[in-house]
Amino acid sequence: MSFGPVEFLPQSAGWRAGRLVRSLRRFRREDGGSASVFVISFVLVLILVSGYAIDVMRFEGQRTRLQGTLDRAVLAAASLTQPRDCGEVVQDYFNKAGLGENLDSYDCTVLARERSVAATASLNVDTMFMEGVDTLVAPASGAAREADNDVEVAMVIDTSFNMGASRSPLPGTVIENIRPAAQRFVDMMVARDEKMAAIYSRPTRVSITILPFSSNVHFPQWMIDPMPAVTYKTGFSDWRCLDLPNSVWNTQGAINVNNPLLEIQQQPRMIEYHPNQLTSWTSYVIPTAQPFTESVIDQSLSLTSCNKTTSSIEMIPPGQTRAFMVNRLKTLEQDIGHFSNQPGTPSIDKAVKWGVTLLDPVMRDVYATGISQGHIAATMAGRPYDYGREATIKALIVLSGGPSNSPVYEVAQAYQRGMSPIWRGSSDGQYAIHHPGITFNNNKYYTPKNNAWNSDPSWSGSGPTRQLPWTEVWERLSVDWVSSQLYGRPLGQGNSSSAWQIGVNQRSAMKAIETDGVTRRQRAIDACTQAKQNGVIIYYISFTAAASDPLSSTCPTSPSTFYQASRTGNTGDIFDSIANSISALRMTQ
Q: What is the pLDDT of residues 396-453, one digit of tens each?
A: 999 887 767 777 777 787 888 789 999 999 998 899 999 988 888 889 999 998 899 9
Task: Report how far residue 173's alpha carbon sits from residue 496's, in angstroms, rounded to the nearest whole number.
Answer: 42
For 243, phi then psi, to 5°, come to -100, 125
Model confidence at 201, in pLDDT bands (50, 70, 90)? confident
Three-state secondary-structure class, residue 376: coil
Q: How many of the other CB atoms lie within 10 Å of CB of 577?
A: 15
For residues 513, 232, 472 and 268, what is the CA-based torsion angle, rounded to 10 degrees?
40
For 349, phi then psi, to 5°, come to -65, -45
More confident residue, 116 or 544: 116
- Scanning 433-568, the segments in alpha helix (DSSP H) are 470-476, 479-481, 489-492, 496-510, 517-533, 551-554, 565-568
Range among 173-187, 354-368, 481-495 with highest mean pLDDT value: 354-368
Burial readout 419-438 (b: 16 or more C-beta within 10 A, e: otherwise) = ebbbbbbeeeebbbbbeeee
Task: Name the pairing type of β-strands 103-110 and 114-126.
Answer: antiparallel
Task: Check residue 33 and give left, alpha or beta (phi > 0: left; psi -120 to 50: alpha).
Answer: left
Residue 303 has pLDDT above 60, yes or no: no
The helix (H) or strand (E) run that includes residue 332 is helix 322-339
pTM equals: 0.71
- Name which of 67, 196, 75 is nearest 146 in CA terms: 75
Is residue 156 within 8 A of residue 356, CB to CB? The reply is: no
The helix (H) or strand (E) run that includes residue 425 is strand 419-425
Cα angle: 322, vertex 253, 521; to 5 degrees:
90
Q: What is the pLDDT of residues 483-504, one digit of tens each?
A: 888 999 899 877 878 888 888 8
More confident residue, 182 or 570: 182
Task: Name the pairing type of β-strands 230-233 and 264-266.
Answer: parallel
Model confidence at 531, in pLDDT bands (50, 70, 90)? very high
Task: Report how far residue 99's alpha carbon sits from residue 94's, in angstroms, rounded to the nearest whole number.
Answer: 5
More confident residue, 269 or 215: 215
Domains of the chain: 37-147 (no CATH), 150-220+311-406+517-587 (3.40.50.410), 419-510 (no CATH)
Least reliable range by pLDDT among 103-107, 406-410, 437-441, 551-555: 406-410
Region 108-122: what's the mean pLDDT? 89
